[in-house]
Amino acid sequence: MQYATIRVNPENSMHTKTFSLLPILLAIAAGALTPNAASFAAAHHATKPAAHKKATPAATTQPPLDAQTAMAGSPPALPAKAWLLMDFESGEVLASANADEALPPASLTKMMTSYIVEQALRSGKLKQTDLVSVSQNAWCRGSSTESCMYLPLNSQATVIDILRGIIIQSGNDASKAIAEHMAGSEEGFAKLMNAEAQRLGMTHTHFVNPTGLPDPAHKSSARDLAILARAIIHDSVDYYPIYAEREFKYNGIKQGNRNALLYTDPTVDGLKTGHTEEAGYCLVTSSKRNEMRLITVILNTSSAQARADETRTLLGWGFSAFEKVTPLQPNTVVATAKVGFGKTDTVTAGLGAPWLLTVPRGQAVQTSAELKPGLEAPVAKGAVIGKVVASSNGKPVGEAPLVALADVERAGLLQRAWQSMGKLFGK
């Protein structure tokens, strides 16, 4: 029997390996991929040092890191340098530790690379069928020491294939090629990355390259990476499904997505893994259960299985500790606002759209309305005229705009004059 073979690389690591698919298929058939087992993705890219090389020391396990912020009780302590749990809908951080420490992000960097490509596709600056050339700089040379899409030297690939190579295969060659295509060089593309990071509010991030290969100045934080993940999910609707794809074949080489949870948890649909010796094993994940989507970030843990297990723990706590609530229904009257110089002197205010909040499970939610002062006609139905603030246990947990539930036309000249006289005399 002939077996297919694949060359596979860990993210930004130092080894390549050729192996048969048969053991993997047998492992899957035997049920080896359970939520608590080592993942297919992790297993298929683990390698042993070559016989003539000195073995790399085993990764040091981080001590459990307690939560420094948490919106609900009993958050887990996770053995990582930094971790974070975010509610996608609101962007609220539900629990975190070392959320703003600038750390090496390894291939999590490629989330920004792919995001920039996706936004260029959305705006029309790029087309999916545009051809991207592979330069000597971008090409993975022979027995590559980095994760690759395996683009042939001096070849061309479509933008959509390049995007898949970045997201699924973590291709450094794909990342470099698209950087040169869009900005002329890696350095030029890094400027685009940093400008986008600034626009998104990633205040503890500085990118030097599009790959995440080590550089002392190349840093990001758990909070910033969660902000980036949220932007990808929100802004790249047409391309976000790629982050859930388990494998991609290019140039005759099939490689699996290294996000282990894609194989073991059907609620997980992204986003990205990363690993270098300096950064440790990293993972940014998104999971949606019922109406709630959570984003997790794990930075610098000891192994591919550890990053998956810690993510499972964090997601499990998040979905059990929090719930979605609807404080108020749309189009119901929340408050009545005074209107000056209108044919009527008041207008009702309410929510213009459904409002869902993520709050600690079982906690009551209170709401209070804040209306704009000095409101004057004309007021159009649907215009924002204030906000409603939700709180739980005395702490704000969210807010939503209040809109006018009816039109208020401007009064005629005589009526406005009469109203002005009334204000003058305090009536």
Integer-rounded Cα Rg, in Å, for the chain is 26
306 and 198 both lie in a single domain: yes
The pLDDT of residue 417 is 57
253 and 346 both lie in a single domain: no
Alpha-carbon distance values, 159 to 122, 164, 181, 186, 368 (Å): 13, 9, 10, 17, 49
User: How many helices (H) does the chain have, and how many strands (E)?
Assistant: 10, 19
| Residue where a domain stops, chosen among 322, 345, 374 | 322
Q: What is the mean pLDDT of residues 215-222?
A: 98
pLDDT exceeds 50 at position 33: no
CATH code assigned at 122: 3.40.710.10
**pTM exceeds 0.85, yes or no:** no
d(CA 146, CA 13): 5
The pLDDT of residue 141 is 78
The pLDDT of residue 419 is 58
Domain-located, residue 327: no
Give the percent of the chain with pLDDT over 90: 74
Domain-located, residue 12: no
DSSP labels for 204-246?
Answer: T-B-S-SS----TT-BB-HHHHHHHHHHHHHH-TTTGGGGG--
The pLDDT of residue 256 is 95
Reported confidence tier of residue 414, pLDDT bands at 50, 70, 90: low
Domain-located, residue 40: yes
346 and 261 both lie in a single domain: no
Q: Residue 110's closest CA among 253, 256, 275, 268?
A: 275
Q: How many domains does the chain have?
A: 2
Q: How far out from the chain centre does Cα 101 lie?
A: 18
Domain-located, residue 2: no
298 and 354 both lie in a single domain: no
* Active site members: 107, 110, 170
263 and 407 both lie in a single domain: no
> For residues 385, 389, 390 and 396, what is the CA-based torsion angle, rounded to 10 degrees?
160
Domain-located, residue 204: yes
Domain-located, residue 414: yes
CATH code assigned at 373: 2.60.410.10
- Average pLDDT over the chain, rounded to an integer: 86
Question: Can you give the residue range of the structural domain that contains 415?
Answer: 335-424
73 and 176 both lie in a single domain: yes
248 and 388 both lie in a single domain: no
Q: What is the mean pLDDT of residues 277-290?
A: 97
The pLDDT of residue 220 is 98
| Residue where a domain stops, chosen among 297, 322, 347 | 322
Contact criterion met (CB below 8 Å) for 86 and 295 = yes
Domain-located, residue 103: yes
376 and 413 both lie in a single domain: yes
The pLDDT of residue 422 is 60
Selected residue with higher pLDDT from 300 and 332: 300
Q: pLDDT per residue over 120-177, tens digit each?
A: 999 999 999 999 999 999 998 765 578 999 999 999 999 999 999 999 999 999 999 9
| E strand residue ranges, 225-362 | 247-250, 253-256, 268-276, 280-289, 292-301, 322-325, 335-338, 346-351, 357-360
Alpha-carbon distance values, 424 to 166, 262, 344, 373 (Å): 67, 68, 19, 18
151 and 260 both lie in a single domain: yes
94 and 240 both lie in a single domain: yes
pLDDT exceeds 60 at position 97: yes
The pLDDT of residue 331 is 82
pLDDT exceeds 50 at position 103: yes
370 and 237 both lie in a single domain: no
Domain-located, residue 412: yes
Q: pLDDT per residue over 363-412, tens digit each?
A: 999 999 999 999 999 999 999 999 999 998 888 888 999 999 999 998 87
367 and 247 both lie in a single domain: no
